[in-house]
């Protein structure tokens, strides 16, 4: 989950844009840019943005949601699973099989 606790006025962001971008890029620190105290935009690294898009695509896929529900049911029943095996299967599906 993105921590949205770091807010910067647009005026201050203009003054320190390089520093904010570097922090967002190196530390994955998101910044909420405000104008008159109201949120206007979000500054995130391109990596964070791509991760968010990937997560959204993953969670929008009914097959993935079914697998998650299946895994949750098995977990609640006390059944374990092999995380690396599941991850590998999901990544294979991501490359074109799902």
Q: Identify the CA nearest to 30 among candidates 4, 56, 49.
A: 4
Asked whether 59 and 38 are in contact (CB, 8 A), the reply is no
For residues 32 and 43, give the distance between their C-alpha atoms in angstroms, rounded to a whole number.
6
- pLDDT for the residue numbered 98: 43
Residue 79's φ and ψ, nearest 5 degrees, are: -90, 140
Burial 12-35 (b: 16+ CB within 10 A, else e): ebeeeeeebeebbeeeebbbbbbe
Q: Which helix (H) or strand (E) holds 57?
A: helix 46-59
Q: Which helix (H) or strand (E) holds 31?
A: strand 31-35
What is the block-wise mean pLDDT of the chain (98 residues), using blocks of 10 residues? 79 96 94 94 94 88 86 82 78 62
């Amino acid at each position: 989950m993105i921590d949205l606790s770091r807010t910067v006025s647009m005026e201050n962001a203009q003054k320190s844009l390089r520093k904010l971008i570097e922090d967002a890029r190196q530390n994955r620190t998101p910044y909420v840019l405000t104008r008159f105290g109201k949120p206007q935009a979000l500054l995130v690294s391109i990596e964070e943005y791509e991760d968010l898009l990937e997560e959204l695509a993953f969670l929008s896929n009914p097959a993935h949601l079914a697998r998650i529900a299946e895994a949750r049911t098995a977990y609640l029943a006390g059944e374990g699973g092999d995380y690396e095996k599941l991850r590998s299967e999901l990544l294979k599906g991501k490359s074109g099989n799902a």
